[in-house]
Amino acid sequence: MPDITQSPLPTPTIPSHFIRRTGDEPPVQDAPIRAKRRPQYGQIVTGFVAIALLVLFIQSQAQNPNMEWSVTWEYMFNPVVLQGVGVTIQLAIFAMLISIVLAFGIALMIQSTNKVVSVIGRAYVWFFRGVPMLVQVLLWFNLAVLFPVILGQDTNTLISGFTAGLIALSLAESGYMAEIIRGGIISVPTGQTDAGVSLGLTRSQALARIVLPQSIRVIIPPTGNQFIGMLKATSLVSVIGGSDLLTRVQLIYGQNFKILPLLIVGVLWYLILVTIAGTGQHFLERRLNASQPGSRRSAKTTGTATTTNIRTIIGGALWRK
């Protein structure tokens, strides 16, 4: 039997380093690798079913004689209805602007180091968020019961349906906007304010130049949602004859008794206004977030540079055998 211990196995030779020769370069990738998504058959089937149901619903309503679509298209651009649309837009815009101004002051009061001021700000938010908006509209419209004369004028003359609705919508919305603005302010680390103060800025200057420009990206999306909600909330003014869209629609069907076709007119106009506001919100958010890391536009602009960096790293890597 042979002695295994006297015949050692040969030791493989391992080079201490690798010298790249011509032609040994790693392949250069011309385009980024894109993963191929699997077909989502469940999603496709669900989409077809949803489209089929929607088509059947539209077809059934289009052929329904009780809908009276001819009456709807007749009053769609009626001057009285268009005036109501204008009043609705005015109420929404003015109420939103007033509420933002009030909310900014309330948010600063809540964040104040003065405990009394902070409690007053929180009480304001508690009250106007707690009372339903419809109740506030009715309260302001009937203010003459408490104060028959204001500033030497009759209260009923001074506060019309439009004015009462504007005050109620502004105050009610300011309670919600105050919390939105406060959330945007506290989303910025306090260390940035301290750094601004250490550089010689006052706290007001640090708030205006450092905190607010960063918090605006947090404030804009919910503010857009609140404005869309405000467009719909203006319909509450119809209970006091605020001359808004719903008030004009009710005025017309109170005369011709075409209730359903006129309500469809109001529905279509509200959908148009909400669609326009939602589209504007989308593009505004897209513009504000264009420079943010992780956004789609930022990813598009940095995609080429990232691919180039990956190629450089791969091309310069050491290949060992």
pLDDT digits (tens, 9 = 90+) for 173-211: 999 999 999 998 888 888 888 888 888 888 888 888 888
- Which has more pLDDT, 7 or 237? 237
pTM of the predicted model as reported, rounded to 2 decimal places: 0.74
Confidence at residue 310, expressed as pLDDT on a 0 to 100 scale: 39
Residue 96 φ/ψ, nearest 5 degrees: -70, -45
270 neighbors 290 (Cβ within 8 angstroms):
no
| Helices of type H across the chain | 41-62, 69-75, 79-110, 115-130, 133-141, 155-158, 161-186, 190-198, 203-206, 212-233, 245-256, 259-288, 296-315
- Which has more pLDDT, 272 or 191? 272
pLDDT tier, 145 (very low <50, low <70, confident <90, very high otherwise): confident
Candidates 100, 118, 195; CA nearest to 203 is 195
pLDDT tier, 105 (very low <50, low <70, confident <90, very high otherwise): very high
Type and span of the H or E element at 150: strand 149-150
The Cα–Cα gap between 121 and 185 comes to 15
Which two tokens mark 131?
């009372």
179 neighbors 189 (Cβ within 8 angstroms):
no
Which two tokens mark 61?
């309503």
The Cα–Cα gap between 240 and 255 comes to 18
Candidates 280, 175, 137; CA nearest to 220 is 280
- Give the single-character DSSP code of 63: T
